[in-house]
Chains A and B, each alone.
Chain A
Amino acid sequence: MGKREAAIAGLAEWAPQRRWDRPMFSMEAAAELAALALADADIEHGEVDGLVTGPVFESPMFAPSALAEYLGVRANFAEVVDLGRGLAGGHGLESGGGHRGGSLRHGPRRLHDRAPAAAALAWRRSGSRPRAHSRLPGGDAWGSPQGQFELPSGLVAATPSFALIASRYLARFPTAPETLAKIAVHERENAAHNPKAIFRNEPITIEDVLSSRMVADPLKLLEVVMPCFGGGAVIVTRSDRAGRGPHRPVFVSGYGERLTHKSITYAPDLVETPTRVASERAFQMAGVARSDVDVALPYDCYTITVLLTLEDAGFCKKGDGGVFLEDHDLRHDGDFPLNTHGGQLGMGQAGLAGGLSHVTEAVLQIQGRGGERQVRSCDVAYVNGTGGMMAEQVALILEGA
């Protein structure tokens, strides 16, 4: 697919909330987000002929057709994605966590194949309570390797897994705790300028991070995302159609994805992540250099995730992430604007839609809709999504028309 054939024309995003005041089913959430995003893009409902979604909880089987029917979409393609929570999508109602970048990749490819007018991508998190007991999703099913070889050890959910990654990284590349804490602090400062950020009124200092409770060594509480309710959607369309909309079209000019493992135990390398391959592919496809990037939006479920992603995306060499972080100002008006919406650490992790926030922020920045946190002259964004245990990774290059 060519680098400028598909563009994001509009978006919708709910402010993450700790308690959801309007309980709704996932199909209802998808409908509301789709309506909001279509209005933002000034695209008619009748033009939509494709959809990509996270899980549909009221209809786990045949979810695409269930959603097409519910939304009244006559789709020429439709699918559920289960890739890299970080980027483009989100999934479900329950676990707090990942994000997806995978879905936007499908948008461009399918648009190229079939040339529809518009595709709606909806992700949401509906009104159910987060599960307190969040084991690896599906990990304890009959026959599952996790159920036999991980869960009995206490290796459940994401935090201990990312703590293992951090442990290995810090042993190989000693990094001051203050350096990792800076990620959380600067993202929180960015969040102060995002009206939708859950922590917009709660600035933190390096000392706050270092003195917060140890959750899973070496990760401390303020280095860990807080699961919330929320959701989002973006509208992907052909570039020529996007050009007729109210906003600057945002081209999906490069994408890549990479998966190698589910459990961190079996990752080919704990600190050399699949993001490397995904990002290299995205940059090459877009023909964009790292130095061309105006805003970086790496998935940030934990501080260590950001550090590894910056290295593996090629912004610095493996092992140099600490120095890179010390050398750069990550705030929206800094020399390396990063997660200008506050990241998920500062904005809140909207469940399975959390990763979409990195996409929507890229779009807002490129369209000049960043408000107080607008990055000066923003044309190129690097976006990354991570699903699972540094496992399902995607990278996007988004560029303004």
Chain B
Amino acid sequence: MGTRMSEDGRPLPVPNPTTAPFFDAAREGRLRLQRCPRDGLFFYPRSRCPGCLGDDWSWEDVSGRGSLHAFTVDRVGHDPALTRDVPFAIAVVELEEGPRMTARMVDCGLDDLRVGMPVEATFETLEDVPLVRFRPRQVERLPIGGA
């Protein structure tokens, strides 16, 4: 299965040979995507680039920084396996490098979520399975007087 249940009943990803390098990097706290020499970075991991169906891609670490492209707060537990976590925030994040990914938002008050807010990847491990999450990112202040 692409998903299995943890001992406490939460859905966990089941990597396969194509996606394992992504999860291996995540286990080490790195976000790693594939890059096609013609079309650039893409996500999720695929056997071939969705831009050209080429297979000459390579893995590349990315910053983990991005912005909150869209979000929702699940108030009822649309997945009964996650009812215990309600309410929780689901984020679509646009990475600085371009691709979008969906993950849970953590370390953020539900009322503080804003489309466009800076976020960064963080990683949790559950039963040896790395899970990518996003949290708010402190943006360095520009020098006073800057345009």
Contact among B13, B70, B82, B92 for A154, CB-based, below 8 A: B82
Partner of A157, one of B12, B78, B85, B104: B78
Given A152-B3, A154-B88, A270-B70, are A133 and B79 also a contact pair (CB < 8 Å)?
A: yes
On chain B, the residues within 8 Å of A142 by CB distance are 1-2, 14, 16
The answer, yes or no, to whether B51 is at the interface (CB within 8 Å) is no
Q: Is the interface of A mostly helix, strand, loop or mixed?
A: mixed
Given contacts A168-B69, A214-B75, A263-B102, contact A148 B90 (CB under 8 A): no
Interface size on A, residues (CB 8 A): 44
Q: How far does the alpha carbon of A165 sit from the alpha carbon of B88 in the complex, in Å?
A: 17
In the complex, B11 has a CB within 8 A of chain A: yes
Q: A153-B104, A154-B90, A167-B70 are contacts. A148–B13 as well, Cβ < 8 Å?
A: yes
CB distance from A224 to the nearest CB of B (A): 10
Whether B19 lies near A154 (C-beta < 8 A) is no
Q: Which residues of A contact B90 (CB under 8 A)?
A: 153-155, 160, 164
A376 to B15, CA, bound (A): 58
Asked if A69 is at the interface of the complex by the 8 Å CB criterion, the answer is: no
Q: Are B75 and A164 in contact (CB under 8 A)?
A: no
Q: How many residues of B contact A (CB 8 A)?
A: 38
Chain A residue nearest to B18 in the complex (CB): A143
Shortest CB-to-CB span from B133 to chain A, Å, is 9
Candidate in B70, B76, B103 with the most chain A CB atoms within 10 angstroms: B70
Does residue B125 face the partner (Cβ distance < 8 Å to A)? no
Q: Whole-angstrom distance from the CB of A160 to the nearest CB of chain B? A: 5
User: How many Å from the CB of A138 to the closest CB on chain B?
Assistant: 10
B145 within 8 A of A: no
Residues of A within 8 A of B10 (CB): 152
Q: A154-B78, A164-B72 are in contact. Are A147 and B101 (CB under 8 A)?
A: no
Q: Using Cβ atoms and an 8 Å threshold, which residues of chain A touch B131?
A: 152
CA A229 – CA B75 in complex, angstroms?
A: 26
How many Å from the CB of A359 to the closest CB on chain B?
28
**A265 pairs with B101, CB closer than 8 A:** yes
Cα separation A140 to B79 with both chains bound (whole Å):
12
1/0 contact string of B1-42 vs chain A (CB within 8 Å): 111000000111111101100000000000000000000000
Contact A152–B13 (Cβ < 8 Å): yes
Encode contact with B along A150-174: 1 for CB under 8 Å, 0 otherwise: 1111111101100111111001000
Is the beta-carbon distance between A143 and B72 smaller than 8 angstroms?
no
In the complex, A217→B4 CA distance in Å? Answer: 27
Pairwise interchain contact B75-A217, C-beta atoms closer than 8 A: yes
- By beta carbon, the residue of chain A nearest B69 is A168
Determine the chain A residues whose CB is within 8 A of the CB of B44 once the complex forms. 145, 148-149, 266
Nearest CB of chain B from residue A283's CB, rounded to whole Å? 29
Residue A216 is within 8 A (CB to CB) of chain B in the complex: yes
A218→B45 CA distance, assembly (Å): 31
Q: How far, in angstroms, from A9 to B77 measured CA to CA in the complex? A: 44
Nearest Cβ on chain A to B41's Cβ, whole angstroms:
13
- Whether the Cβ atoms of B100 and A147 lie closer than 8 Å is no
The reply on B123 being an interface residue by CB < 8 A is no
Chain B residues closer than 8 Å to A264, beta-carbon distance:
92
Indicate if the CB atoms of A164 and B71 lie closer than 8 Å.
Answer: yes
User: How far is B38's CA from A142's CA once the two chains are assembled, in angstroms?
Assistant: 29
A154-B78, A165-B70, A168-B115 are known contacts; what are 5 more A-B pairs with Cβ within 8 Å? A132-B80, A152-B12, A171-B115, A216-B74, A265-B101
Closest 6 CB pairs of A and B: A147-B2, A171-B115, A163-B72, A148-B13, A144-B2, A168-B70
* Interface pairs (26), CB distance under 8 Å: A133-B79, A134-B78, A140-B3, A147-B2, A147-B14, A148-B2, A148-B16, A152-B12, A152-B13, A153-B90, A154-B85, A154-B88, A155-B102, A157-B79, A160-B90, A167-B72, A167-B115, A171-B70, A213-B76, A215-B75, A216-B75, A216-B76, A217-B71, A218-B72, A264-B92, A266-B44
